[in-house]
Structure 1
Amino acid sequence: MSQHGKWTLSDSDDDNVVPPTPPKDLNKPNVKPECSANSFNTVLNPTPKSEPSRENSAKFQPSLKPENVSASPMGSEARQAAHLNQADPVKYDQRPTPAVKRKRERDESPWNLSSSDDEAPSSAPDAKPKQSRSGPPKKKIRDARPPSPHGAAYYKEEPSDFFEADLSAMSNTYRFYLNKVSGIEQKYNTGALHIKDILSPMFGTLKESVQFNYCFDIPWMVQQYPPEFRTKPVIIVHGEKRESKARLIQQAQPYSHIRFCQAKLDIAFGTHHTKMMLLWYEEGFRVIILTSNLIQADWYQKTQGLWMSPLYPRLPEGSPETLGESPTYFKRDLLEYLRAYRAPELAEWIERIEEHDLSETRIYLIGSTPGRFQGPDMEKWGHLKLRKLLSENTCPVPNMEKWPVVAQFSSIGSMGLDKTKWLAAEFQRTLTTLGKTGSSSGSAEAPLLLVYPSVDNVRTSLEGYPAGGSLPYSIQTAQKQLWLHSYFHHWKAETCGRSSAMPHIKIYTRASPDYSQLAWFLVTSANLSKAAWGALEKNGSQMMVRSYELGVLYTPSAFNMKTFPVQKDIFPVSNTTTGFPVPFDLPPHRYSTKDQPWIWNIPYTQAPDTHGNVWVPS
């Protein structure tokens, strides 16, 4: 077994004890476990649970500035750990000594779990994370920071023109854009968009909007709207319940123009993970489908992606709702997705979409909505929808069945005891579908490359170890599926100036062996989990989906091509480019024996990150 498939775990007398649930308190952060914790026979062996992966619980997130980190951690356990790490950093030369007794020395791996409370999953969503740390008290460092290897600009406030997009540099062929990243060379932000750009008057005179998302910082979100639009009506679509819902509503109390729509989550452990904006202008209507949460950290120094629709004009008065459909049936699928919420708050928006012309759309919509589906409904959602679209809209070229599939994500769910439980038996078959006659022919021959950041990728990123707070792969899940790690790859983007911006983007694509062509390309909110993509039940006669997800699929046929040519050097961006702007250097590189996948809830103290700190979740 390669070294990236091993962990060393500290011993404890109560490894199998689940921490007690503290009293509920509206003033305390609501913690939800992110990754599955099914029973498994390993050295860890925690109390059995059944829970799919989740990227990071959608809680109110305080605004996070590099020079002014709030002292109150909120959000998921992984993001809380990152927040605490930034607010009270542990310097490399102040590394703590182990706080628990060890029954034997283990030197074969640098990964050590320091507490049995971290080994066992929380028994309730309201469990409060421990905030104590080993070692002597450390003085909080806020302004005095070590020199950044990325240059002095890393710590500076961005100039005003950072938030002004150059429309002449934007490529409208695919309408796929990256987010702007703070602290990198300007050319690597050409053609990229900040949320302030998206909401600015240059794209339309905004009248109302809807924000679908997972994590929210409402005060920060309001500030991203330009002053002239800052009090226009906004609906927030979320999946919060009970205390976390109360906190979200409390954050919006100063803003009378904000209303809420709670997504129904009828199946346990599902999440509202969709990230979408609906923007209604005086001039028309627009849809944005993206990978960023509505928190500052996701728009600061992470690589994110988004699809921006054309400006859809209003149809002539009295037009039937079937008018204005695109060749990709985007209008039908968007309306069907919105109706799946069964929410009165969205009824008016459904009517508005029916009244607009969406015929210019050239992408396919792929959504997930919670439920158990049978018959034709099975192909409406999740990976079976993707399989159906690939079957109907891809045209295989010679030897395409051997083309590798590349999948990138920021969270990983429980896949089962081996690859045949879901990944290879079900999901890989979808990803290797080619045309009507080759729906499963490539599953055995096509390599599957799973791209997930290594510990060193996180350590050397712009944010350093705290970047791992948005990569909540837990030790509890990882220990159950060491077989999965043989699939792991990472980007070595030496020629890409964004290589140090930690990816939070989710991409699934199929590329030629020389990576010069793509058979299709998908950007989505969906991570690598059964909760997001769905899993077959009842001998394949039923599809079960837990979460809301949304993404867009690009197929060459929709652009009158046989394959997409890959744009090798996408920076600086040009509006004359015809190649597809893959946001990372290809090919991805297989993990070496020294590489280890990032696991958020174990310490890393052997090497400092880009801020001179180590990672000690506690």
Structure 2
Amino acid sequence: MSDTDSDVTIEPDPSDWDHSPNLFTPSPPQSVSKRQSSYHQLSDSDNEEPCSSVKHSFQHQTTEDLSNGRSSPKLLKRINKSSLSKSPSSSSQKNEKSIVFGKIDDQNNSAKDKKLDASKGVPQKKLHDSQVLKRKHSSGDSSKRVSETISSQALPPCKYGSKCYRKNPDHLKEFSHPSANDSNENARGRKSTKQETSPPMKRQKTETMSLTSKEPIDIFTHAQPLSFFLTKVHGISSDYNGAYTMSLRDILSESMGNLQESCQFNYMFEIPWLIQQYPTSFRQKPLLCVHGFQGGQKAGLEADARKFTNIKFCQAKLEMPYGTHHTKMMFLMYDNGLRVVIHTANLIERDWHQKTQGIWISPVFPKLKSGPSPTQGDSPTHFKRDLLQYVAAYKAYQLKDWQDHISRHDLSSANVFIVGSVPGRHMAEKKHWFGHMKLRKLLNENGPVKEQASKWPVIGQFSSIGSLGASKENWLSVEFLQSLATVKGTSSVPLAPVEFKLIFPTVDNVRTSLEGYPAGGSIPYSINVAKKQPWLHSYFHQWKSEGRGRNRAMPHIKTYCRPSPTWGEAAWFLVTSSNLSKAAWGALEKKGSQLMIRSYEIGVLFIPKYLVENAVFKCSSKVKEAGQKTFVLPYDLPPRAYTKSDKPWIWDIAHKELPDSNGNMWCPS
């Protein structure tokens, strides 16, 4: 393959952005903002209500951060028919909210409302006061009643009124709920506020205290030997937050081991929140954070950790333009051994709240009795060799101690393969050490036999997409699929009969999700890239996860799999940080003699014979019916293809056709 076939375009790859740019996320160049702005103008028709400008507040954001464009580009607008009244007073009470890391923040509402109404000659504060006073004198209420009235008038009413069954604090903050005493008054004095909303969702039981009856170590033990988990999701039935699920607190809990020190590899960090996830007894233990930030972003991260004297940092070297440190991995050193965790979530609160994320957790690896050795204590999957190889690629002195820790432990019980990516142009034998060529090599040695898998499809599932070329033959359906479709004994197979199915959220998936449109900030498929590769959309399938109760928990997880045509078995499964991009997986250059990778990534490959002593996994997403050795998938099979009306989620264009599940619209800045 010639150089011209590779991805050599020097431009940022949004597929490796986990979230919309913010304080600790690389900001896109000015040209991207201009393209977004121009498209936004084209997409807004004259008869649509324009999206108002909303300022964003970040707890640690500086003037420099704002000038560099690191505030979130995603805006929401509350849909409230009462605000569409022709009276000046009602129109002045529009309640706009800012988003801070995906959460509704009302702290600046009063200042915004006052500013907006001042331009119309109606000071918002005085308007509120007059209404409250009028109601106070008529009903003889106390000052507490006045406060409740202000709150209820600042929020749109819940359509279920006093009969609302929801107990979610976020719901109570977003909608007013009349008490029994004033329900009659509301019925007499308030017109119907029925509004256009998303389709009604089924009532779901929320998490209960019964989940705390099982220690995390019990959940971990029950999931062996596969040890594959999803993160717990707030707001879904507790039935789906029990077996095969772990929170960050669970992973770091005392029941999992007596922690002595830890190392966190990640793309994004919220340091104060991260420390709170450790048990109190572990919060002073040494912690090394491995990141890829530079300049002001690096300084901001270090400033957040200044009061935590136990935290140190390691900056990953990014040798390729627009590469990222996208790896999500933990090293947990206990008094009795070492544990490795490989997952898909950033170390920020919203990634562990209402998204679907994947986790692999190793057993505790004991110390070698013979002392440090890079070869002794390796597993049949060469987990120790490959992990040392990956860590050594950082060429960082801060990681020397952890390389030594790995060398001193017996990792022979590891039953998965490492598939990592590190930046650079990898030649000769190193071409097969990383990226999709590493996956090709592993499947050539350990994959399904040709006779078994010749008609088996391949599934790719991810949260963002990079620039893949003008046609599928540029990379996806030839080079990349060749690696995914590799069978034992040969690295070259006829690709014509191999179906390639890609699972990626639709606009409706995002709109009706638990988070609503803000979930789309973690699914960065840009309009500029999508316009160049319309051929890709014929591969797309909807996000469906009824079996795991996560239909409405948008996927930030990335997985690749080869299921059977009957959908009940799988030849292998991979969970990784790698999205669908050349930057993550690599692209062959110079007639295939070298593999060029831009980013750091890591994942683990599950091969049946090393886990269940069989040629295939029995697989299902129905967690309630899963047996001990069933691979419980994060999504439903068979995948459901896009309908004619389905469109892939694109994060940098407006979505105003319908409000989301929380009554908001999506308006890029």
Smaller-chain TM-score bracket: 0.7 to 0.9
Partner of 1:596: 647
- Comparing 420-429 with 452-461, which one deviates more in the overlay? 420-429
Q: 1:74 to 1:502 in 2, by over 3 A?
A: farther
Residue by residue over 1:256-308, the C-alpha shift from the partner in whole angstroms, topping out at 9 and shown as x without a partner, is: 11000000001100000000000000011000000000000000000101000
Question: In structure 2, how many angstroms separate the alpha carbons of the residues matched to 1:300 and 1:76?
Answer: 28
Q: 1:593 to 1:224 in 2, by over 3 A?
A: same
1:405 aligns with 2:458: yes
Higher alpha-carbon Rg:
2
Question: In structure 2, how many angstroms separate the alpha carbons of the residues matched to 1:328 and 1:507?
Answer: 19
Question: In structure 1, how many angstroms separate the alpha carbons of the residues matched to 2:288 and 2:209?
Answer: 28
1:583 aligns with 2:634: yes
Q: What does 1:253-272 correspond to in 2, within 5 Å?
A: 253-272=306-325
Q: What does 1:209-224 correspond to in 2, within 5 Å?
A: 209-224=262-277
Question: In structure 2, how many angstroms separate the alpha carbons of the residues matched to 1:499 and 1:470?
Answer: 16
What is the identity, as a one-letter code, of the residue corresponding to 1:594? S
Partner of 1:152: 166
SS in 1 for 2:649: coil
Aligned-residue offset at 1:398: 3.4
Q: 1:30 to 1:330 in 2, by over 3 A?
A: closer
SS in 2 for 1:353: helix
Q: Any gaps of 5 or more consecutive residues in structure 1?
A: 1-26, 45-60, 65-71, 97-131
Q: What does 1:177-192 correspond to in 2, within 5 Å?
A: 177-191=229-243, 192=245
Identity between Structure 1 and Structure 2 (%): 47
Aligned-residue offset at 1:320: 3.6
Partner of 1:616: 667
Partner of 2:359: 306
1:426 aligns with 2:414: no
Partner of 2:132: none
- Which residue among 598, 602, 605 is the counterpart of 1:546? 598
- Which residue among 358, 363, 369 is the counterpart of 2:422? 369
Q: 1:594 to 1:216 in 2, by over 3 A?
A: same
Partner of 1:293: 346
Aligned-residue offset at 1:76: 11
What is the identity, as a one-letter code, of the residue corresponding to 1:356? H
Q: 1:494 to 1:223 in 2, by over 3 A?
A: closer
1:90 aligns with 2:93: no
TM-score by length of 2: 0.73
SS in 1 for 2:454: helix
Q: What does 1:65-214 correspond to in 2, within 5 Å?
A: 80-82=72-74, 84-85=75-76, 89-91=77-79, 93=81, 144=155, 147=158, 152-155=166-169, 165=215, 167-169=217-219, 170-191=222-243, 192-214=245-267
- Which residue among 326, 332, 335 is the counterpart of 1:282? 335
Question: In structure 2, how many angstroms separate the alpha carbons of the residues matched to 1:141 and 1:363?
Answer: 54
Partner of 2:280: 227
Aligned-residue offset at 1:571: 3.1
Q: 1:616 to 1:432 in 2, by over 3 A?
A: same
Aligned-residue offset at 1:395: 3.0
Aligned-residue offset at 1:363: 0.2
SS in 1 for 2:429: helix
Question: In structure 2, how many angstroms separate the alpha carbons of the residues matched to 1:366 and 1:267?
Answer: 20
Q: 1:552 to 1:93 in 2, by over 3 A?
A: farther
Question: In structure 2, how many angstroms separate the alpha carbons of the residues matched to 1:147 and 1:326?
Answer: 57
Question: In structure 2, how many angstroms separate the alpha carbons of the residues matched to 1:267 and 1:505?
Answer: 25
Residue by residue over 1:155-190, the C-alpha shift from the partner in whole angstroms, topping out at 9 and shown as x without a partner, is: 379767767645444311201011000011111001
What is the identity, as a one-letter code, of the residue corresponding to 2:526? S
Aligned-residue offset at 1:425: 2.0
How much is the aligned-residue C-alpha RMSD, in angstroms? 3.5
Given that 1:373 and 1:544 are in contact with CA atoms closer than 8 Å, whether structure 2 keeps it comes out as yes
What is the identity, as a one-letter code, of the residue corresponding to 1:436? G
- Which residue among 14, 28, 37 is the counterpart of 1:33? 28
SS in 2 for 1:302: coil
Residue by residue over 1:290-337, the C-alpha shift from the partner in whole angstroms, topping out at 9 and shown as x without a partner, is: 000000000000010100000101111436432110000000000000
Count of residue pairs brought into register by the alignment: 526
Higher helix share: 2
Aligned-residue offset at 1:233: 0.6
Question: In structure 1, how many angstroms separate the alpha carbons of the residues matched to 2:663 and 2:285?
Answer: 44
Q: 1:227 to 1:34 in 2, by over 3 A?
A: farther
1:514 aligns with 2:566: yes
SS in 2 for 1:395: coil
Given that 2:458 and 2:562 are in contact with CA atoms closer than 8 Å, whether structure 1 keeps it comes out as yes
Aligned-residue offset at 1:201: 0.6
Q: 1:161 to 1:500 in 2, by over 3 A?
A: same
Residue by residue over 1:544-584, the C-alpha shift from the partner in whole angstroms, topping out at 9 and shown as x without a partner, is: 000000000011122321111113521376xx521111111
Partner of 1:124: none
1:393 aligns with 2:446: yes
SS in 1 for 2:525: coil
SS in 1 for 2:288: strand
What is the identity, as a one-letter code, of the residue corresponding to 1:616? C
Question: In structure 2, how many angstroms separate the alpha carbons of the residues matched to 1:75 and 1:553?
Answer: 42
Given that 1:78 and 1:468 are in contact with CA atoms closer than 8 Å, whether structure 2 keeps it comes out as no
Residue by residue over 1:71-113, the C-alpha shift from the partner in whole angstroms, topping out at 9 and shown as x without a partner, is: x99999898234x53xxx43264999xxxxxxxxxxxxxxxxx
SS in 2 for 1:458: helix
Question: In structure 1, how many angstroms separate the alpha carbons of the residues matched to 2:576 and 2:26?
Answer: 25
Given that 1:33 and 1:76 are in contact with CA atoms closer than 8 Å, whether structure 2 keeps it comes out as no
Question: In structure 2, how many angstroms separate the alpha carbons of the residues matched to 1:547 and 1:258?
Answer: 24
Larger relative contact order, structure 1 or 2 (CA cutoff 8 Å, min sep 6): 1
Question: In structure 2, how many angstroms separate the alpha carbons of the residues matched to 1:35 and 1:403?
Answer: 44
Question: In structure 1, how many angstroms separate the alpha carbons of the residues matched to 2:30 and 2:458?
Answer: 24
Q: Any gaps of 5 or more consecutive residues in structure 2?
A: 1-21, 40-56, 85-111, 118-123, 126-149, 171-205
What is the identity, as a one-letter code, of the residue corresponding to 1:534? G
Question: In structure 2, how many angstroms separate the alpha carbons of the residues matched to 1:78 and 1:454?
Answer: 26
Partner of 2:618: 565
- Which residue among 513, 535, 541 is the counterpart of 1:483? 535
What is the identity, as a one-letter code, of the residue corresponding to 2:414? T
SS in 2 for 1:521: strand
Q: 1:453 to 1:147 in 2, by over 3 A?
A: farther
Given that 1:195 and 1:224 are in contact with CA atoms closer than 8 Å, whether structure 2 keeps it comes out as yes
1:323 aligns with 2:323: no
What is the identity, as a one-letter code, of the residue corresponding to 1:542? Q
Question: In structure 1, how many angstroms separate the alpha carbons of the residues matched to 2:531 and 2:357?
Answer: 28
Q: 1:590 to 1:345 in 2, by over 3 A?
A: same
- Which residue among 510, 513, 523 is the counterpart of 1:461? 513
1:449 aligns with 2:449: no
SS in 2 for 1:318: coil
What is the identity, as a one-letter code, of the residue corresponding to 1:592? T
Q: 1:95 to 1:564 in 2, by over 3 A?
A: farther
What is the identity, as a one-letter code, of the residue corresponding to 2:295? R
Residue by residue over 1:339-396, the C-alpha shift from the partner in whole angstroms, topping out at 9 and shown as x without a partner, is: 0000000001101110101001110000000001111010000000000000000132
Q: 1:519 to 1:158 in 2, by over 3 A?
A: closer
Partner of 1:111: none
TM-score by length of 1: 0.78
SS in 2 for 1:590: coil
Q: 1:497 to 1:36 in 2, by over 3 A?
A: farther
Q: 1:426 to 1:94 in 2, by over 3 A?
A: farther
Question: In structure 1, how many angstroms separate the alpha carbons of the residues matched to 2:658 and 2:578?
Answer: 32
Aligned-residue offset at 1:408: 0.4
Aligned-residue offset at 1:543: 0.7
